């Protein structure tokens, strides 16, 4: 499958590498490929600059948002939540229409210090904003409730945990759930409902951030006991 991954940060890199290792043809979309390839400094978390990672993953092409979207069958949005809508506009609605868009981003706002707060919550979500802006795109919210390493390898944890999906299109959710199980190894995929249920998934981030601080590790996830 031809897959576009939007975002060159640690989440985008992790998702792209996993999908490529599963045999998919993967492209990473960014605003300015030349500028991205010119980076020489590590990010704020100490991750190496993108060119270092790209040398280790030469089969993954770096291109613009628009070119990646046009050539793909499915799009993973791994941009920061504050930049998501602008990135998708740069991709061009015509290149996205009719496709599944897997939204992993969170609407986090760190402008008032750490930990960040949600820029949208309760009565709306980033996923709903995307769906309203791009009504012909099949938005599926998932994977936003854990760190990148766990997204692609749930077996890192000592116990089985859950990943959630939200979206209006049942076939799109089924396609994403199948990919999560087959390529990422998720044993439990829980369908929360339509796109409005993404509010709940995004609103897990404040407690997730507090747990990361309390546990002193991002390697954990939510398990649903019944």
- Model pLDDT for residues 157-192, shown as the tens digit of each residue: 999 999 999 999 999 999 999 999 999 999 999 999
221 lies in some domain: no
**103-104-108 Cα angle (round to 5):** 110
Name which of 39, 38, 32 is nearest 65 in CA terms: 32
Number of structural domains (the chain) is: 1
Q: Whole domain around residue 130: which residue ranges? A: 2-215
Alpha-carbon Rg for the chain in angstroms: 16
153 lies in some domain: yes
pLDDT of residue 44 exceeding 70, the answer is no
- Supply the CATH number for residue 200's domain: 3.40.50.720
116 — pLDDT class (breaks 50, 70, 90): confident
Report whether 4 contacts 27 (CB < 8 A).
yes
Average pLDDT over residues 62-88: 95
Average pLDDT over residues 99-112: 91
> How is the chain split among helix, strand and coil, in percent rounded to 5?
40, 20, 40
32 — pLDDT class (breaks 50, 70, 90): very high
């Amino acid at each position: 499958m031809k897959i576009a991954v939007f975002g060159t940060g640690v989440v985008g890199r992790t998702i792209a590498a996993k999908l490529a290792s599963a045999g998919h043809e993967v492209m990473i979309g960014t605003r300015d490929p030349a500028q991205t390839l010119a980076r020489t400094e590590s990010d704020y978390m100490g991750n190496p600059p993108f060119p270092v990672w790209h040398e280790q993953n030469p089969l993954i092409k770096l291109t613009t948002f628009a070119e990646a979207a046009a050539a793909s069958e499915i799009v993973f949005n791994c941009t920061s939540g504050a930049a998501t809508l602008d990135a998708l506009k740069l991709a061009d609605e015509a290149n996205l229409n009719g496709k599944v868009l897997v939204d992993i981003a969170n609407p986090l706002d760190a402008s008032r210090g750490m930990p960040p707060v949600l820029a949208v919550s309760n009565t709306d979500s980033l996923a709903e904003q995307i769906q309203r802006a791009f009504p012909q795109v099949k938005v599926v919210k998932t994977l936003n409730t854990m760190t990148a390493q766990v997204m692609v390898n749930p077996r890192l944890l000592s116990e089985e945990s859950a990943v959630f999906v939200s979206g209006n299109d049942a076939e799109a959710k089924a396609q994403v759930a199948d990919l999560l199980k087959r390529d990422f190894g998720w044993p439990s995929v829980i369908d929360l409902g339509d796109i409005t249920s993404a509010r709940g998934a995004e609103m897990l981030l404040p407690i997730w951030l507090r747990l990361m601080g309390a546990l002193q590790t991002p390697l954990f996830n939510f398990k649903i006991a019944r």
